[in-house]
Amino acid sequence: MKKFLDLISREVSAAFEACGYEAAYGKTGISNRPDLCEYQCNGAMAAKKKYQKAPILIAKEVVEKLAGNPVFESVEAVNPGFINLRVSGSYLAGYLDQMAADPDLSVEKAEQPKTIIIDFGGANVAKPLHVGHLRSAIIGESVKRICRFAGHQVIGDVHLGDWGLQMGLIITEVRHRNPSLPYFDESFEGEYPEEAPFTISELEEIYPFASGKSKEDEAYKNEALEATAKLQDGERGYRALWQHILNVSIADLKKNYDNLNVEFDLWKKESDAQPFIPDMVEAMKRDGYAYEDQGALIVDIKEESDTKEVPPCMILKSDGAALYTTTDLATIIDRMQTYHPDEIIYVVDKRQEMHFTQVFRCARKTGLVNEDTELKFLGFGTMNGRDGKPFKTREGGVMRLERLIAEIDEEMYKKIMENHEADPEEARETAALVGLSAIKYGDLSNQASKDYVFDVDKFTSFEGNTGPYILYTIVRIKSILNKYRAQAAATQKPEDGVTLPREILAPASESEKALMLELAKLNSVIEQASEELAPHKICSFIYDLSNALNRFYHETKILACEDETQKCGWIALLDLTKRVLETGIDLLGFEAPERM
């Protein structure tokens, strides 16, 4: 179904045309003076020059043409040439009725669906998930859902970090602690043990330890570098140990992402790019793109228009090891061959922007991507604490994701138990849902590229622009609908079950109309959010919608209404509002409880 604003513009454009003006002048927007009108067209002013006529005269002609048009309740020409419009209540109701009749709420699907790969999550194996990876997971998941809803074919890939120095560090540290393990015996030819020589908590302790040590101990660092190169080169024992690291770590990561309601279609890793590296390197050399510089292999990617220095892209280190850039480039080859994507979107910390500039330029220059495949970097800002510095635990350490979630859930649990008497078990489940909404909405309501302050008190509040407030609104509607069902069940035969009324009526009050006008925006909001990869647009929409709903609710006695037709109309409107809000939060990646 067409966007509501387009339908309005169409009417106004037709009137312009009928008066002998170009139709394009009829483009109409949402009014920025809601006290005066709902929609506004400024085309008469724009047409002044071309037609050498006073805008107010043009506006008056157009308004005359629109008189009697059933789409509008009022149309007015205002000096110096504005056309102010109010839409008719029954037309608006008809539009919402059509929306309600469609399971997908009549959201227009992309005319030319694209195949999009979203590279997000980006956790590193053997390192605990911390808040730095939280944003990538939350934003990527939402962008994935929005693009899918807009009709594209979307593939989410976690692209785990498993091929860099961190692996060499862990292998080195395991060897120092336990040199007799068969993985380090080059003459060992038997089967390696099935059981990993460490647990996830040991693993998570080993990495920071090794990383710290390598910064002070040069010889240790060299050992780790050598281990990295050997691993990449295929040394049997190292590969077996690495496989243990992956198994232990991925099981833990899956659990964590699951708790966040974050899902990946592909669990690919940097190492999966390894088979593509030798040929890629050969081709880059053969075609004259890559050359040796102080032992390393590099590709120049400077451009004349650069205002700041863009260093060459390093393809191999002097010891032959692959780098972060190498695996990212080779992964592009894999993705192009397997999925032929129209777009690859990387949801990564914006501090990695230079890395992606290098990768994108190198991939274009050396022909790894088709001309019409777009590479997009969706860089996000830092999540800060209230002190304005990167978020830490109260003791000042790195905040682990599990702990952050547990703390928020506890906070929500307390609030729920304070609010009303609840079964502790149900309250725990509810707290988990509401806690997730607090974290995700708190993040997504900011433009992704900006840094933001993670403010627990603010994010968990049931009032204001927060996830819990949106959920509270949905729960409020659910409760009214349930009461309606109970009322109706008393008069209908039980076998009938109670189906909710469907027909939305023309608005009976200003607050009802305001709610309806908000609902009519859904189609445009989805289009904008998907084109701009901007979940925050969904947040502001559902926030405005929740406010409109709550105002209508406070001003209207819905269930006590004696006019049955009117009551049914309102119930239908509430049901649609609930569906739109639920769609909104689903696109953000969380759900509403039954009660809270």
Give me the residue label for tokens 């959201």.
107
Q: How many residues comprise the chain?
A: 596
- The H or E element that residue 30 is part of is strand 28-30
Nearer to ligand ARG, 66 or 158 (CB): 158
State in angstroms the smallest separation of the CB of 322 from ligand ARG. Answer: 13
Nearer to ligand ARG, 59 or 129 (CB): 129
State in angstroms the smallest separation of the CB of 344 from ligand ARG. Answer: 9
Nearer to ligand ARG, 119 or 443 (CB): 119
State in angstroms the smallest separation of the CB of 346 from ligand ARG. Answer: 6
Nearer to ligand ARG, 55 or 161 (CB): 161
Q: 3-state DSSP call for residue 125?
A: coil
Nearer to ligand ARG, 136 or 465 (CB): 136
Structure tokens at 279: 């040929």
- The H or E element that residue 165 is part of is helix 165-177
State in angstroms the smallest separation of the CB of 147 from ligand ARG. Answer: 18
How far is the C-alpha of 589 from the C-alpha of 596, rounded, in Å? 19
State in angstroms the smallest separation of the CB of 161 from ligand ARG. Answer: 3
Nearer to ligand ARG, 161 or 584 (CB): 161
Contact present, 235 and 172 (Cβ < 8 Å)? no
Structure tokens at 217: 């101990």
Helix axes 131-149, 424-444, angle to 10 degrees: 80
Largest CA distance in the chain: 94
Strand order in the sheet with 39-41: 28-30, 39-41, 82-87, 72-78
State in angstroms the smallest separation of the CB of 124 from ligand ARG. Answer: 5
Residues lying near ligand ARG in the complex (CB under 6 A)? 119, 122, 124, 159, 161, 328, 346, 348
Nearer to ligand ARG, 161 or 197 (CB): 161
Structure tokens at 40: 């506004």
Residue nearest to ligand ARG (CB): 122
Structure tokens at 322: 């692959």
State in angstroms the smallest separation of the CB of 138 from ligand ARG. Answer: 15
Contact present, 119 and 345 (Cβ < 8 Å)? yes
Taking CB atoms within 8 Å and a gap of at least 24, the contacts of 254-257 are 256/129, 256/401, 256/402, 257/121, 257/137, 257/158
State in angstroms the smallest separation of the CB of 300 from ligand ARG. Answer: 21
Nearer to ligand ARG, 61 or 119 (CB): 119
Q: Where are the alpha helices (DSSP H) in 340-466?
A: 353-365, 401-419, 424-444, 456-459
